[in-house]
Amino acid sequence: MSIKDFDPGIRPREKAERGGAASLSEAELLALLLGSGGVEGRTALDLANALLGRYGSLYGLSRATLPDLLLVKGIGKAKALSIVSAFEMAKRASDEALKAPSFSPSHVHSLIKEGVLEGVSEAVFLFRYDERGRYLGHERIASGHADRVKQRVGPLLARVFKSGAASFALAHNHPSGELRPSKEDFVATGILLSRSQEMGLLFLDHLIVGPEGYYSFREHGLIASKLPSP
């Protein structure tokens, strides 16, 4: 029997499509990576369970070398290289996460201050962070008046959620160079605070930025949520 003969409800690929990769067991994740069982009459799930049984755990498997894996029945060079490459990518991602800076208003400002000039249209930037408040990246998401953000709260939060981020901050400039928030800035911040809580996302800060400085709602006590621990 092959995995194709399984009930669609328990096939790893279909389960991942429905519930995401996090819904899969370790064996199912490994089976997706392997693709096939490598031996007639053996499924990728069979081979995955055999590997986990041989090495005791995913961590044990991650320590296996290419020559070690090639000794396992059903594991050829292509499968062995896929396994060691997957673990190497995971290691590099973990190392990168540990080096990522944690959220701070001054870090947000430092990343965009050179591109924020007086006399230009307002630009809105989204900063994404993980569950520990570690920086994942940022992007310019809108131009024009920042009060339009409150009209785009749904798509903005959906963007954060789909990116895999757990927390986020927003920053924009005022063409006049004024750093004090406008009435619209207060309204947009209130809406973001409320809606982000409903979605289980942590809204870290809203900043008005200029080339020489910034105004942080958090630093002024207007966003009081506890910062995540790195």
pTM: 0.64
Residue 21 has a CB neighbour count (10 Å cut-off) of 12
For 10-28, what is each residue's pLDDT tens digit? 577 888 888 888 888 999 9
pLDDT of residue 86: 94
Q: What is the pLDDT of residue 147?
A: 55
Give the pLDDT confidence score for residue 42 in this predicted structure: 80
Please state the length of the chain. 230
CATH number among 3.40.140.10, 2.40.50.1020, 3.40.50.720, 3.40.50.1970, domain 105-216: 3.40.140.10
CA-closest candidate to residue 217, choices 202, 225, 205: 205
Closest-CA residue to 165 (of 194, 139, 147, 191): 139
Q: Map out the domains of the chain as residue ranges.
A: 3-98, 105-216
Is 3-98's fold the same as 105-216's?
A: no
- Among residues 108, 174, 178, the alpha carbon closest in space to that of 146 is found at 174
Closest CA to 192 of 182, 206, 178: 206
Per-residue pLDDT of the chain (230 residues; tens, 9 = 90+): 444 555 444 577 888 888 888 888 999 999 889 887 667 778 888 899 999 999 999 999 999 999 999 999 999 999 999 999 999 999 888 877 677 789 999 999 999 887 665 456 778 899 999 998 999 999 988 775 555 555 578 888 999 988 999 999 999 988 888 899 999 899 889 999 999 999 999 999 999 998 889 999 999 999 988 888 76
CA distance 43 to 35: 9
Bridge partners (DSSP) of residue 127 are 138, 169
Helices (H), 173-223: 183-198
**Could you give the maximum distance between any two Cα atoms of the chain, in Å?**
71
Pick the CATH number of 3-98 from 1.20.140, 2.170.140, 1.10.150, 1.10.287: 1.10.150
